[in-house]
Amino acid sequence: MARKAVLEGGKRDEILNAALELFLINGYDGTSIRMILERVGGEVGMFYHYFQSKQEVFNKAFEVFMKKQGEQLSSLMSEKLNNMTPRKRLEHLKAGYIKAMNDYAKLSSKNIHWTVLSTLHEMTLEAMLPSFTAMLIEIRQFAQKSELNDIEWLAPFILKGISGLLHEKSFIELDEEKQMKLIIDFLCRMLQIPKEIFI
């Protein structure tokens, strides 16, 4: 007989929240189903009533978490350019990305396991990509560049490039204006647009 799907609520949510906390601190390999169940006061049978495996609870816990993060990041980046200059959009992108990274650190008192941090980083970029792509299209249109057929493959590359800058120690040590100049230079080279639109 097939297992009945349990969509959400109650103990299932407790398990997801406990799993998220433990995965953030201990990483995937350092977290066991038994540890999760000890946190929620449950038995093994209860776990398997809701989930088929540790991998499934890991995936679901981070899906829920990233859905919230993705909604926050998308709302930050969703204003149209006629309401905000291209430079302001970039500043919002940078602020949103840094806020997301700081939120992860706060969740586990800065003890996020490196494997989970890597997963969160990739999921953050994935959550940002649709809004980021739309932003790039608007910036290109603002610069009166009509060719947009390369944006779909170019957007993930540019987003990862900006992310790389934001994690680079020598970049972090620069003042705000120099950081923005480097991001703008990179973006203008990639999109083949004039720097003047970011003034």
Residue with tokens 């997801």: 16
Per the prediction, the chain carries an average pLDDT of 81
Residue 4: what pLDDT? Answer: 45
41 and 75 part of one domain? no
- 3 domain-assigned: no
Structural contact between residues 33 and 54, judged by C-beta atoms closer than 8 angstroms:
yes
156 and 74 part of one domain? yes
- 160 domain-assigned: yes
**How many degrees, rounded to 5, is the angle at CA 154 between CA 149 and CA 155?**
105
Report the amino acid identity of residue 61: A
* φ, ψ (nearest 5 deg) of residue 75: -65, -35
Residue 75: what pLDDT? Answer: 67
pTM summary value:
0.68
- 5 domain-assigned: no
99 and 194 part of one domain? yes
74 and 138 part of one domain? yes
Residue 88: what pLDDT? Answer: 85
Residue 56: what pLDDT? Answer: 94
- Give the count of domains, the chain: 2
- CA distances 145 to 24, 123, 132, 191, 198, Å, are 43, 30, 17, 9, 15
> Which of 121, 119, 3 lies closest to 55 in space, CA to CA?
119
43 and 108 part of one domain? no
40 and 130 part of one domain? no
Residue 6: what pLDDT? Answer: 47
Residue 97: what pLDDT? Answer: 78
Structure tokens belonging to residue 167: 């994690």
- CA distances 100 to 67, 68, 71, 183, Å, are 12, 10, 11, 18
User: What's the rounded Cα separation, in Å, for the pair 170 and 112?
Assistant: 23
Return averaged pLDDT per consecutive 10 residues of the chain, 199 residues in all. 50 92 84 94 91 92 77 64 77 79 62 71 81 86 77 90 88 92 93 88
> Burial code of 133-165, b = ≥16 C-beta within 10 A, e = fewer?
bbbbbbbbebbeeeeeeeeeebbeebbeebbeb
Structural contact between residues 11 and 40, judged by C-beta atoms closer than 8 angstroms:
yes
- CA distances 123 to 136, 145, 190, Å, are 20, 30, 23
CATH number of the domain encompassing residue 45: 1.10.10.60
Structural contact between residues 166 and 94, judged by C-beta atoms closer than 8 angstroms:
yes
Question: Domain range holding 68?
Answer: 62-198
Structure tokens belonging to residue 62: 């981070």
Residue 152: what pLDDT? Answer: 85
43 and 89 part of one domain? no
95 and 192 part of one domain? yes
Residue 19: what pLDDT? Answer: 92
76 and 139 part of one domain? yes
Residue 10: what pLDDT? Answer: 79
73 and 156 part of one domain? yes
81 and 135 part of one domain? yes
